[in-house]
Amino acid sequence: MVIAKNIVKTFKLSRQQKREMGDGFQGNTIDAVCNISFTCQPGRVFALLGPNGAGKTTALRMIATMLKPTSGSISVAEYDTVAQSQAVRENLGFLTGNTGLYDRLTPNEMVRYFADLHGMNSADYNTRRDHLFALLDMEAFANRRIGKLSTGMKQKVSIVRTIIHDPEVIVFDEPTAGLDVVTSRNIVHLIRDCRNVGKTVIFSTHRMGEVSLLSDDLAIIHKGQLQFNGTLEDFQNQMQTPTLEDEFIRIVEDE
């Protein structure tokens, strides 16, 4: 379970960033996330929705302990992200669309590296590795250098790297951005599989199609503020426009 309570993230701006904000901007800081709260339940998929620059990635990075909230608190699998960051990371898998892989390693070496960092023993690793490699049909390229793999193959390696330690909470930050249809479908299947085995799944996106396909709960975030937080069903019930996409645009533009 992930519980975010009144989280705020304020960034100090450099001179160049202030210039880029335009003449109308006053002050030295910007609130990327302003006082947002939400809960993601095990066995459910939570979608974090918002246009580019809304604060989705900042919120997810706080969940993943990469950023500390300026105020408020987040608990992941009952561990506090600031006070117990290491325990949080032990129970977390984090995948971004932009996930970097080590080009000079092979998929086998890459996955083994992260398994070792998570302290997995050889027996558990071998069982889990064999299961995931077979599931994603990865054996054929398991010993080829990652730098020589296709985008789809690389994405599979990223997926296995993210879930090799069987984390309780899995975070996907715009996982399908820039990917082809086949690879995107792999991700969608993975998210569903994770939900079906009782994992807490959070994913951020700006594609409404993915939301209706996958999510149980959703939050809409715009300019760092929470615009909606509830179940997909609630959202559909209170829509003022015919489609999810139109409703999303209406909420964002009204702001």
Partner 1 sequence: MKPILTIFKKEFKDITRDRRSMMMMFIIPMLLFPLLFTIATVFTTRQTQKVRTKTLVVALITHGNAEAFREILLKRDDLKIREDIAEDIIPQFIQSDSIDAAIRFDEQFDAQIADLRRGQIHLYFKSSRDMDASRNRLTTLIRDYENQIVNDRFQRLALDRMIVDPVQVRRHDIASQRERIGKSVGGFLPYIFVLMCFMGCMYPALDLGAGEKERATLETLLVAPVSKIQILLGKCGVIVLSGFASIANSFIGFFIAIMLQREIVARILDALQGMFEISSILLVLSLCLPLTIFFAAALMSVSIFAKSFKEAQSIMAPLNIIIIIPVFIGFLPGIELNVITSLIPVLNVSLASKEIFAGTIKLPLLFEVYASLTKWFERESTIFRET
Q: Which residues bind partner 1 (CB under 8 A)?
A: 64-66, 86-87, 89-90, 92, 94, 96, 98-105, 109, 113-114, 116-119, 161
* Minimum distance of partner 1 from residue 221's CB (angstroms): 21
Nearer to partner 1, 89 or 129 (CB): 89
Q: How far apart are alpha carbons 13 and 126 in whole angstroms?
A: 47
Minimum separation from the CB atom of position 88 to partner 1 (A): 8
Q: Which is nearer to partner 1, 113 or 228 (CB)?
A: 113
Q: Which is nearer to partner 1, 162 or 227 (CB)?
A: 162
CB of 172 to partner 1, least distance (A): 12
Contact yes or no for 172/203 (Cβ under 8 A): yes
H or E segment at 57? helix 56-63
Q: How far is the CB of 185 from partner 1 (least distance, A)?
A: 23
CB of 238 to partner 1, least distance (A): 35
Sign of CA dihedral 222, 255, 253, 29: negative
Return the number of the residue (92 or 191) whose C-beta is nearest partner 1: 92
* Rounded distance between C-alpha atoms, residue 227 and residue 58, angstroms: 16
Tell me how far apart the terminal alpha carbons of the chain are, to the nearest angstrom.
Answer: 30
Supply 168's token pair: 């309780």
Nearer to partner 1, 116 or 180 (CB): 116
DSSP state of 14: P
The least distance separating partner 1 from the CB of residue 180, rounded to whole angstroms, comes to 20
Crossing angle for the helix pair 122-135 and 151-163, to the nearest 10 degrees? 140
Closest to partner 1 by CB, 44 vs 89, is 89
Q: Provide the H-helix boundaries in the chain.
A: 15-20, 56-63, 85-90, 107-117, 122-135, 151-163, 181-196, 208-214, 232-237, 244-254
Asked if 108 contacts 154 with a C-beta cutoff of 8 angstroms, the reply is no
Sign for the pseudo-dihedral over CA of 212, 213, 218, 222: negative
CB of 98 to partner 1, least distance (A): 5
Instruction: CB nearer to partner 1: give 44 or 112.
Output: 112
Under a CB-based contact definition with an 8 Å cutoff, are residues 133 and 160 in contact? Answer: yes
Measured at the CA of 234, the angle between CA 186 and CA 175, to 5 degrees, comes to 20
